[in-house]
Amino acid sequence: MIKLLKGNCMDVLKGLEPNCADLVLIDPPYSSGGLFAGDRKQDTRTKYTSCEFNGAARFPNFSGDNMDQRSFTRFMGLISAKLRAITKVGGAIAAFIDWRNLPAMTDAIQMGGWVWRGIVVWNKGASRNIPGRFRNDCEYIVWGTNGRKEVDWNAAKGKQAMPGLYRINSVGTKSRHHQTEKPVELLKALCRICPERGTVVDCFMGSGSTGVACVEEGRDFIGIELNDEYYETAVRRIQEANDKTLEDF
């Protein structure tokens, strides 16, 4: 089952059934991109792309990225509460964020009532070389569960925990569909925490990378996106992935 919805997730999430999600896998606007208020208020093209460097400036700006840290924490707290209301008990949340708003995100998911379980590290390869400083070449996935997540130790015999660190290069400039696209390979690895044939919800779907990952991993998917152009891209990409999976099958 694939359901793609266009609109503001604050409103659209109200229409989803309780218990419809096994995993919430989201990549929200980080409201980041600078150390000073003036930097944060720039549009996403200025903050996250550079014509010479990655060419992703060709994509439209997206909204929701100009909040200060308090507003971001409140926004994500409200959204994560709505997301928990549609997630099964024992289901999980995994939310992307960069170093600047990492503390805000860990607060926000707890404000939404999730049990915070940890932080997964994504080493994305590229970063600016500033001698004398540590590299900022990682982003983070804050994860938690809706209450207890039971472990069936008998069924789990011989199985391993999922890695807490992924080294996967960010999507190359020419093959991108979104200014801040996440690699499908990474999303495929993350969505394996969802039971097979379970349902993944991404309410900041962008160009639909999570949906493509779910199709390829055999998970159902519900995606929400505000921006018309990115929504159309997501529909096309997920449809293509679905057609290809059926062909291969």
Ligand X SMILES: C[S@@+](CC[C@H](N)C(=O)[O-])C[C@H]1O[C@@H](n2cnc3c(N)ncnc32)[C@H](O)[C@@H]1O
| Pairing state between β 220-225 and 2-6 | parallel
Q: Is the dihedral of CA 7, 38, 133, 55 positive or negative?
A: positive
State the DSSP string of 107-156: HHHHHTT-EEEEEEEEE-S-----TTS----EEEEEEEESS-----TTTT
State which residue, 27 or 220, has the beta carbon closest to ligand X.
Answer: 27
Amino acid sitting at position 225: E
In the complex, least distance from residue 86 CB atom to ligand X, rounded to whole angstroms = 15
Residue 199 in the binding site for ligand X (CB under 6 A) = no
Instruction: Confirm if 171 and 181 have CB atoms less than 8 A apart.
Output: yes
Six-digit token pair at 145? 């569960």
Rg of the Cα atoms in the chain: 18
Q: Does 48 bind ligand X (CB under 6 A)?
A: no
Query: Is residue 67 a contact point for ligand X (CB under 6 A)?
Result: no
**Distance of closest approach, residue 18 Cβ to ligand X, in angstroms:** 20
224 binds ligand X (CB under 6 A): yes
Binding residues for ligand X restricted to 201-220, rule: CB under 6 A: 203-204, 206-207, 209
Q: Does 180 bind ligand X (CB under 6 A)?
A: yes
- Contact status: 230 vs ligand X (CB under 6 A): yes
Closest residue by Cα to residue 238 from 190, 187, 196, 198: 187
Given 22, 25, 29, 59, the residue binding ligand X (CB under 6 A): 29
To the nearest whole angstrom, how small is the minimum distance from the Cβ of residue 134 to ligand X? 24
Number of residues that bind ligand X (CB under 6 A): 23
Interface residues with ligand X (CB under 6 A)? 8-10, 27-29, 62-64, 178, 180-182, 203-204, 206-207, 209, 224-227, 230
